[in-house]
Structure 1
């Protein structure tokens, strides 16, 4: 069976990427700050769509080890987090 994905804006302003069958566990959750939501008013779904598309394209590209920034203070990151530029 073919599964489709959809972007849905929730009542709290979060945007989730989920299976169209309504799976309770979203694949991705995008949370914009209040300031950002005000700045992109009316375009949140368009911005989220571009972010998801960029993520899919980036995931399809091979990763080079030297693309990770080793100068970041690891104490400020979540466990296993990496910053890519």
Structure 2
């Protein structure tokens, strides 16, 4: 399995995206905040988006660990 580095970037339209660092492909995830939300967050929306993306990646990591544990579990044959 190849390892790709991911980066969080702010797009020219103000959206925040997750993409592979070594690729020009479409972003993996894009988060859009309304102007009202940006104003309410007083410009800290990029930090909020980073937290959202990091939480999502942690959940994916746990899901992968659980799937691997299920694959390693002994099979019961009746």
TM-score (norm. length: structure 2): 0.65
Give the gaps of 5 or more residues in structure 1: 63-85
Aligned 1:15-54 pairs, distance under 5 A:
15-54=16-55
Greater gyration radius: 2
Contact 1:4 1:19 in 2 (8 A): yes
Structure 1 equivalent of residue 76 of structure 2: none
CA contact (8 A) 1:19 1:26 kept: yes
Corresponding residue for residue 4 of structure 1: 5
RMSD (CA atoms): 1.9
Q: TM-score, normalised by structure 1?
A: 0.60
| Count of paired positions | 62
Higher helix share: 2
User: What is aligned with 2:70?
Assistant: none
* Structure 2 residues not aligned, in runs of 5+: 67-78
